[in-house]
Amino acid sequence: MDRAEPLIAILSDFGYRDHYAGVMKGAIARIAPRARIIDLTHGIPAQAIAAGALMLAQSWRYFPARTIFLAVVDPGVGTTRLPIAIETRAGARFVGPDNGLLARAAAEAGVRRMVELKSPRFRLADASSTFHGRDIFAPAAAWLACGASIRALGPAIDELTPLVLPEPSVTARRIRGEVLYIDGFGNLITNISASILARLAACFRTKPLSVRINGSAPIKIYRAYGDAPADSSLATVGGFNLLEIAIRDASAARHYRVQAGASVVVTAGRA
C-alpha cells in the first residue's frame, strides 16, 4: 500500500442518523487529510460488543496489511476501561476501547504490542467523557496513519480484556446454544461452530441433524441458502463459520419473533 495513502477502516454502533460517525471522519481529516477511510459498518446494534467483535474478526484479514481499524462500540466510555491501540504481527493496527471489542481480531492477527492511549499530544484537547471516538480514538488512528509509532501514543500494557461469549453445551446427542447476532437480512447467527456440528454429525452418520429455535418445528440443515425451497426455514454454516438459521427470501428473526439470546438446539435424528 502507498505510504502516502494510509487506510483507516471504521466500525461502530453509531448508526447513520446522527453526526457521530461523520465527525470522527472530520477529526481524522484534520490530522491526516491524505488518509483513505472505509466505513466497515456503523450498523452494529447499540452497545453490542460481541456483535462488533465478530464483525471485526470477520473483516480484518481482507484488508491491506497495514490497515488501521478504528472500532468504537463502547458502553463503558468514560469509565475505568482503557482506550488502547494494538500493533499485530500480521500488520493490522487496531484502535478502540479495551472491552473485548478488539480481542478476537487482535488474537487472530497476532498481538505484537499494545499501548494505552494516554499521550495528550495524540488526542484532542479537553477530551470529553462521552465521545472518545471523536476525541481519543479517531486522533490516535489518524496519527498512526501519519506514521506515528504506536509507542508514542502511550505506555505499554500487557493484558487485553478478553471477549466473553456464551459457550454451547454439548452432550452425546444434543448441542444447546443461542443466537449471538441478527444480521440485516434477519438471519440468526448462533454460537454453534461448524466444528462442533461436525463432531455431532460424525457420531450419528445415519441420522441427519436438525435444528430448533425456541421450541420450533425441526429445521433442516442445508449447504447453502439456495438449496432450500422458496420461503422455507433452513439452517446452514454461514460466513462466520457458525450455524445460522434463516428463511429463504425472508427474515427468520421476524418469522420466529426472536432476539439475540434465543435458545437454539441441534439434535441427531428426532428430538
Element of type H or E holding 210 = strand 209-213
Residue 256 pLDDT:
95
Provide the 8-state DSSP code for 250: B
- Which 8-state DSSP code applies to residue 218? P
Q: How many residues are listed for the chain in this entry?
A: 271
Q: What would the grid cell of residue 64 be?
A: 491491506
Where do we find the cell 428426532? 270
Digit-coded pLDDT (tens) for 76-131:
998 999 999 999 999 999 999 999 999 999 999 999 999 999 999 999 988 899 99
Asked whether the predicted pLDDT for residue 206 surpasses 60, the reply is: no
| % of the chain exceeding 90 in pLDDT | 82
Strand pairing report for 174-182 and 169-170: antiparallel
pLDDT, residue 205, reads: 67
> What kind of fold does domain 7-153 have according to CATH?
Rossmann fold (3.40.50)
Mean predicted confidence (pLDDT) in 71-80: 94
Contact 213, 264 (CB under 8 A): yes
Share the mean pLDDT of the chain.
93
Write down the domain spans for the chain. 7-153, 169-268
199: CB partners within 8 A, 6+ apart: 170
- Alpha helices (H) along 77-228: 103-109, 132, 138-145, 194-203
Which of the two residues, 226 and 5, has the higher pLDDT score?
Answer: 226
Per CATH, the homologous superfamily of domain 169-268 is Bacterial fluorinating enzyme like (2.40.30.90)
> Grid coordinates in use for 252?
427468520
Averaged over 198-216, what is the pLDDT? 83
pLDDT at 199 over 90: no
DSSP H or E stretch at residue 234: strand 233-237
Cα torsion 49, 50, 55, 57 to 10°: value is 110
Query: Where residue 3 falls among pLDDT bands split at 50, 70, 90?
Result: low
3-class secondary structure, 29: helix
Which residue type, as a one-letter code, is found at position 214?
N
Instruction: Identify the pLDDT of residue 270.
Output: 54
Distance, CA of 36 to CA of 3 (rounded, Å): 11
CB 84 within 8 A of CB 122: no
Q: How far apart are CA 105 and CA 125, in angstroms?
A: 30
8 A C-beta contact, residue 26 and residue 86: no
Task: Using the predicted structure, report yes or no on whether residue 65 has a pLDDT greater than 80.
Answer: yes
> What pLDDT is recorded for position 268?
82
